[in-house]
A = this chain, B = another copy of it.
């Protein structure tokens, strides 16, 4: 990545990960971890493929970033994810000491940042990230809507 890469640019890369998940039948959610202006790890939702309840895009990306950087303290890293994190992922973002969280669409049913819970409120923990939401929100929401519409249509045809 070049200097001057914008939040939208990184979110487009998270969307690439989300689409890759959708192409293999997973709910399309994607994430990237950025360190010093470069993507150091990516993740996409792989719950069904891995048969693993914890295989969310954010968790996979944080684990990969830790392996790559050789530390669990991701204090200089920013996480971009297409959907507002769930409680597990919000917790992992706090534990990893992520500097900045940028997400696309709100998750009204399960979002743990602002929608259903506010797990990352400043002051609640020793460390909470700076947060930016709504980046490419329509694109991030639309791939989910399209995915679930296609699932419903397939079910109707059965």
Report which A residues bind B (CB closer than 8 A): 47-48, 50-55, 59, 62-63, 66-67, 70-74, 86-92, 94-97, 110, 112, 117, 119, 125
On chain B, the residues within 8 Å of A53 by CB distance are 62, 66, 72-74, 92, 95-97
Q: What are 26 A-B pairs at a CB distance below 8 A? A: A48-B72, A52-B63, A52-B66, A52-B67, A53-B62, A53-B66, A53-B73, A53-B95, A54-B54, A54-B59, A54-B92, A54-B96, A55-B72, A86-B91, A87-B87, A87-B88, A87-B90, A87-B112, A87-B119, A88-B91, A88-B92, A88-B94, A90-B91, A91-B91, A110-B125, A117-B119
A92 to B87, CA, bound (A): 8
Q: How many copies does the complex hold?
A: 2
Nearest-CB residue, chain B, relative to A98: B53
Q: Which of B72, B87, B89, B110 contacts A52 (CB 8 A)?
A: B72
A110 to chain B, nearest CB (A): 8
On chain B, the residues within 8 Å of A52 by CB distance are 63, 66-67, 72
Nearest-CB residue, chain B, relative to A94: B87
A60 to chain B, nearest CB (A): 10
A132 to chain B, nearest CB (A): 21
Q: Which of B47, B66, B73, B112 contacts A91 (CB 8 A)?
A: B112
Inter-chain pairs besides A52-B67, A88-B91, A91-B91, 7 sampled, C-beta below 8 Å: A53-B73, A54-B54, A54-B59, A87-B90, A88-B89, A88-B95, A89-B91
Nearest-CB residue, chain B, relative to A47: B72
